């Protein structure tokens, strides 16, 4: 990361720009109609926020440029892979496995994080967010085909050694999705997961402290005596509640949460007793994607996000395709509860895969059974032009 003009610029942004340039030069730039509509929506949201005084120019420009670059890069990468989203996901899963191998080998030499595994990532929570879809996918592969057992073990071990309360919640959510495929699992799995959660709560001090402080802060409506991680989510929950009362329908506009945060942070009960350095936690991302959507887009944004998850879910897909979508739902779950970044390295990559799988499944179901899926030329809602698969 380097700083230019007061803005923190991650090297990842440069990687995205280089990739877009290369994909464009090779004729793979893809800007589908649905993506253009999405860009128009978030652009108008930001402009309305600026007009109403609920937004800042810096916050809007940073968010809009970051989203557009990452979304275009991910969409164009799908076109480069001839919209073979399943193969692109498998490429990611291999990357996640090798990242876990590196994290394990690097663990004894890791200079920080108090023994919690982080590997290539800035912090343990980033590792669990990025790697959980691969854990789910390899668990599914082992259960159905008895493949990739070693990859599953390595990823699962690295995942556990992050000692991340978010990661453990993600595993429990993934377990619920995994169990729904069995008739008896719909009853037995929730019981087993409840027992597993109880065991984790008893054995993991990280999980116990964060859960106790988060629940306690929400119930008491006071943040004066909670840990740093819990403060981020509880404080932003309070802030977003205030913002929702003032702007329930449209929110403050794209990139506005930093303004909302500054407006309400001093009104949080107990915040005055904590170090001022903690007050900036979640000022940009609300510490949760769900909270940030409500803060910046209001009810309209919440409905839009819910529609996206529902519409692109691949109903009637084969087990292989459904397992990938389920894996990505695990990622969406963790983003919603804990990470409000719009344009991390993986976010639009995962969402693009989720969307294209949903489109392909819907239109595969509508075609006559004599039509080959691989030779289809009818564009789906996301496709600007017919694109063959190979």
The three-state secondary structure class of 389 is coil
* pLDDT for res 390: 31
Q: How many helices and strands (H and E) does the chain possess?
A: 14, 2
Number of compact structural domains in the chain: 1
Residue 237 forms part of a structural domain: yes
pLDDT in tens, 236-253: 999 999 999 999 999 999
53, containing H or E segment: none
199, containing H or E segment: helix 185-203
Backbone angles phi, psi at 278, to 5 degrees: -75, -20
Domain enclosing residue 274, as ranges: 207-290
Residue 69 forms part of a structural domain: no
pLDDT in tens, 30-78: 999 989 999 999 999 999 999 999 999 999 999 999 999 999 999 999 9
* pLDDT for res 367: 63
* pLDDT for res 356: 94
pLDDT in tens, 253-305: 999 999 999 999 988 888 877 777 778 888 999 999 999 999 999 999 999 99
**Cα(first)–Cα(last) distance of the chain, in Å?**
38
User: 138 CB contacts (<8 Å, ≥6 apart)?
Assistant: 93, 97, 148, 151, 152, 155
Residue 211 forms part of a structural domain: yes
* pLDDT for res 185: 61
Taking residue 255's Cβ as centre, other Cβ atoms within 10 Å add up to: 28
Taking 60 as the threshold, does the pLDDT of residue 376 lie above it? no
Residue 352 forms part of a structural domain: no
Q: Measure the CA–CA gap between 67 and 72, rounded to whole angstroms.
A: 8
Specify the range with the lowest mean pLDDT, choosing from 4-18, 164-178, 193-207, 365-379: 365-379
pLDDT in tens, 313-322: 988 778 889 9
User: 309 CB contacts (<8 Å, ≥6 apart)?
Assistant: 329, 332
301-305 LR contacts (CB < 8 Å, sep 24+): 301/45, 301/250, 301/251, 304/41
Residue 33 forms part of a structural domain: no
Residue with tokens 């876990």: 100
Question: What average pLDDT score do residues 328-355 get?
Answer: 91
* E-state strands within 67-205: none
Backbone angles phi, psi at 85, to 5 degrees: -65, -35
Q: Measure the CA–CA gap between 252 and 259, rounded to whole angstroms.
A: 9
Q: Which of 290, 297, 302 is nearest to 256 (CA)?
A: 297
Residue 360 forms part of a structural domain: no
pLDDT in tens, 168-215: 889 989 988 887 776 666 677 777 778 888 887 887 777 788 888 888
* pLDDT for res 186: 64
Query: Percentage of residues in the chain with pLDDT exceeding 70?
Result: 88
Residue 372: pLDDT band with limits 50, 70, 90: very low
Residue 327 forms part of a structural domain: no
Residue 229 forms part of a structural domain: yes
């Amino acid at each position: 990361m380097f700083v230019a003009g007061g803005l923190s610029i991650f090297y990842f942004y440069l990687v995205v720009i280089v990739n877009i340039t290369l994909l464009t030069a090779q004729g793979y730039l893809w800007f589908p109609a649905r993506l253009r509509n999405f860009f128009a929506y978030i652009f108008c949201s930001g402009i309305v926020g600026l007009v109403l005084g609920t937004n800042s120019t810096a916050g809007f420009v940073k968010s809009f440029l970051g989203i557009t670059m990452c979304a275009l890069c991910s969409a164009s990468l799908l076109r480069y892979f001839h919209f073979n989203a399943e193969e692109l996901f498998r490429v990611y899963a291999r990357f996640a496995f090798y990242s876990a191998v590196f994290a394990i080998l690097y663990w004894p030499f890791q200079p920080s994080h108090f023994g919690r595994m982080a590997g290539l990532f800035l912090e343990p929570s980033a590792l669990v967010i990025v790697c959980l879809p691969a854990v789910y996918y390899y668990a599914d592969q082992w259960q159905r085909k008895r493949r990739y057992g070693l990859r599953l073990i390595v990823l699962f071990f690295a995942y556990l050694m992050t000692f991340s309360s978010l990661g453990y919640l993600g595993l429990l959510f993934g377990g619920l999705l995994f169990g729904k495929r069995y008739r008896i699992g719909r009853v037995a799995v929730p019981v087993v997961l409840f027992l597993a959660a109880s065991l984790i709560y008893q054995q993991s001090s990280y999980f116990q402290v964060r859960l106790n402080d988060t629940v306690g802060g929400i119930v008491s409506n006071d943040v004066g005596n909670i840990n740093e991680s819990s403060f981020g989510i509880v404080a932003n929950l309070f802030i977003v509640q205030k913002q929702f009362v003032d702007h329930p329908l449209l929110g403050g506009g794209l990139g506005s949460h930093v303004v909302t945060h500054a407006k309400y942070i001093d009104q949080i009960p107990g915040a005055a007793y904590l170090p001022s350095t903690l007050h900036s936690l979640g000022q940009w991302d609300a510490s949760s994607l769900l909270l940030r959507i409500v803060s910046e887009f209001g009810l309209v944004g919440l409905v839009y996000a819910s529609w996206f998850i529902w519409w692109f879910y691949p109903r009637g897909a084969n087990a292989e395709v459904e397992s990938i979508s389920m894996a990505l739902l695990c990622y969406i779950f963790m983003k919603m509860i804990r990470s409000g970044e719009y344009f991390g390295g993986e976010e639009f990559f995962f969402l693009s895969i989720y969307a294209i799988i949903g489109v392909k499944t819907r239109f595969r179901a509508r075609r006559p059974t004599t039509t080959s899926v691989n030779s289809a030329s009818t564009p789906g809602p996301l496709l600007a032009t017919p694109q063959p698969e190979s």
